[in-house]
Chain A
Amino acid sequence: MKNLLLSSFIALLLASCSLGHYGKLVQNKNASEKRTSPKPIFGDNFNSFLFKTNITVYGKDFSGLLVTKQMSPKDYRVIFTTELGMKLFDFEFKDTAFTLHYCVPQFNKPKLLKVIQKDIETLLMNNLSVKKTEDYTNKNELFSVQRLEFDNYFNYYFTEKSSAHLFKIEHAKKRLKKTTFILSNYQNEFPGNILIRHHDIKLKIELNLLKK
């Protein structure tokens, strides 16, 4: 328990560092030639995951259960229902295609849907089409950062060195931080809490793992 508290404290401490940290990072120029993409959070084992979930969008709070299920190697289904069982949305991510199977009017807004879709894609790490990867370490060597360059944005993956846990993802466009993903309370190599915070729109998504 002590360890858990300590590690969540460290995670919180690390997570609270703001954008300034990019300047304090040292690029590992001689890092191994063969660079791999970050280890997928949801693994590749066809499990389903159940989260108690709160989505707050422009002051409106949607609470419920979110289920993710890997259907085939590159096919994920993500469904959000209320606690009482009413389905709010049903998404499918297959290769690079996105299918909207169902959605209540409150979520059926193109911009909002696109943002939530993008957030879930970032978490699923399904089919990342990376143009360039760079590795960094912070000066005190507590964590390493991998910067993945995509067509028109960057993702920064922060991994704690001691535990090898991914504790933060930052999604940035033109070096402006757009979205922060905080992953904490790891249990059996899976984050118990995931918090997605948007900096340019009023949207917050909290996922608390119930079962995997």
Chain B
Amino acid sequence: MALQLDARPPARPAPRDSRPSRAGRLSRIDAKYSPYLYIAPFFVIFAIFGAWPLAYTFWVSLHDWDLLGSNPTFVGADNYTRLLADSDFWHSVVNTLGIFVISTLPQLLAALWLANLLNRQLRMRTGWRMAVLVPNVTSTAAVAIVFGVLFGREFGMVNWLLDLIGVDGIEWKSNRFASWVAISTMVDWRWTGYNALIFLAAMQAIPRDLYEAAAIDGANRARQFWTITVPLLKPTIIFCVIISTIGGLQLFTEPRLFHSGTNAIRGGPLRESQTMTMYMFENAFAPYYNFGYGSAVAWLLFALIAIVAAINVLIIRRLGAGARPDTGKRKGGSR
């Protein structure tokens, strides 16, 4: 693992007068290659922990690979063709997308609204801003276990509350849509505040005079929000959407720990809330130990995330295009 890059600095800065040519050459080399050196640590680590596993997973996915077996056999695209015809796999894709949609949309809208509130003159502003981040610093496992208990069929608090207002208990863990909602609640509880803070930071970078000018033109607060704040937040919204996409489509801990007991990796008796990552785990590890098949799931998950992220970016671009104010011009006029 020895790194071949030579990072030794010259022993001391070479005196200019005695050896000008050498110093000049060093300085040129420095200017040319040093930047790459600075960013190298990221890429080296990424290559080891990102690119290499990615490539290796692909290699594994081309094999009939029993996790415990010693002789994997090459089967080409066999795992992929089987997977594309596997109804349980597509079931998990639908679950993943369903949970993603019903968690991300309300989450980003709520975060936007929250950020807008926090951007006003409030008492104890810093306190409020810190408070929305608290759910994010709690451990996912703890959150999932607590929510799993809250949404229990018989002893859960949610069903108890529903009972108080005369609604029959809901089978949160074995009803497909109900389990999606329950898991989305968990995700939103954790991530809304985080996104709100990112939106808030971006909102504060919007020049005040835009609002002042709009106010003079007679735009009310809602109008200001939709025609100034939202369009100017577009890059931030795209960022949040992409991050949420990656996180949402890789959802594992929440649905996995939401279910407990025998065979929780299925996400319910009829795989009601089994996400793609859970399906990957079920196949690569217990109870199937089919590493090749699990790796194929991983690669299709990768493809799906890329596709969904691209669609997201397109939609957001289209949405923003109509309402884009000419920021460049206005900036020119600002102080």
Answer whether A and B are interacting partners. Answer: no
Interface residues in chain B, defined as those with a beta carbon under 8 Å from any beta carbon in chain A: none
